[in-house]
Amino acid sequence: MTNQHETQARVSAEALRGPAVDGTATRTEPLRRDIPQASVARLAVYLRALGVLSDDGRPIVSSEELATAAGVGSATLRKDLSFLGPNGVRGVGYDVERLRTRIEGVLGLDQGHRVILAGVGNLGRALAGYHGFQRRGFAMVGLFDTAPAVIGRTVAGLRVRDMASLAHAASALAPTVAVLTVPDAVAQQVCDQLVAVGVRCILSFVQAPVTVPAGVELRRVDLAMELQLLSFSTSRNQDGAVAQ
């Protein structure tokens, strides 16, 4: 859903926790823990708010203030952070830089990401040059297409490569994420190619449903559906019910 109706995917966070500080392991039970999908999504929101605080030079922030900045309740924030283990100091608050680093680690952002994009059409071109990606640590490293008219052209500072060279190029580019912006008709086939060369994370903007094998994560952004959901709110508002 954006998007969309995800089932409650829960995720092991054991290893994310890092090595236990306490070697004696007094408590053995709660080693394995899951982070609800909704909490993970909010972690990304907190990260953004922490970035702003960091730019302002704020060293410490309370759950109350950070929660307000993120638009959630402080109880929700503390509950979310508790999934990552202790992060703050009672009576004081959270160290902005430390919490930021922690969340980045949990979200797997600490190594940075190398992104390739398949399908350099209208949308693909825009995403190739989208500064929002770079700003958050996602570097676009390769563009691929099958159309001879597009191959070889330079888009967003990168030369568009032939899709046929994907296997060879991928070993050098070592992509960690792929963006899929190809036409519906070839989406599944291109997706299969991406999986075949080792991509394990795909962000799809294709309307048609695309399936991936277990172990590969596919996330779908459906722009038209976003408009449809907006549309629902409108029709509601027009029907006399007052927005609160």
Partner DNA sequence: TAGATTGTTAATCGATTAACAATC
Considering only residues 97 to 126 of the shown chain, the ones binding a copy of itself according to CB under 8 A are: 106-109, 113, 115, 122-123, 125-126
Question: How many residues belong to the site for DNA (CB under 7 A)?
Answer: 29
Q: How far is the CB of 184 from DNA (least distance, A)?
A: 27
Binding segment for DNA (CB under 7 A), chosen from 6-14, 108-116, 141-149, 203-211, is: 6-14
Binder of residue 229, out of a copy of itself, DNA, none (CB less than 5 to 8 A by kind): a copy of itself
Footprint on residues 93-132 left by DNA (CB under 7 A): 93-94
Residue 226 binds which one of a copy of itself, DNA, none, with CB within 5 to 8 A depending on kind?
A: a copy of itself
User: Would you give the DSSP letter of residue 128?
Assistant: H
Strands 60-61 and 34-36: unpaired
How far apart are alpha carbons 87 and 62 in whole angstroms? 11
* Helices marked H in the chain: 37-55, 63-70, 74-82, 96-106, 122-128, 131-135, 166-173, 184-196, 223-238
Indicate which of DNA, a copy of itself, none lies near residue 201 (CB less than 5 to 8 Å, by partner kind).
a copy of itself
Task: Answer yes or no whether residue 171 interacts with a copy of itself by CB under 8 A.
Answer: no
Looking up tokens 């995403």 gives 127
- The total of other beta-carbon atoms located within 10 Å of residue 128's CB is 21
What is the number of H-type helices and E-type strands within the chain?
9, 12
Please identify, using beta-carbon distances, which residue of 3 and 171 lies nearer to a copy of itself. Answer: 3
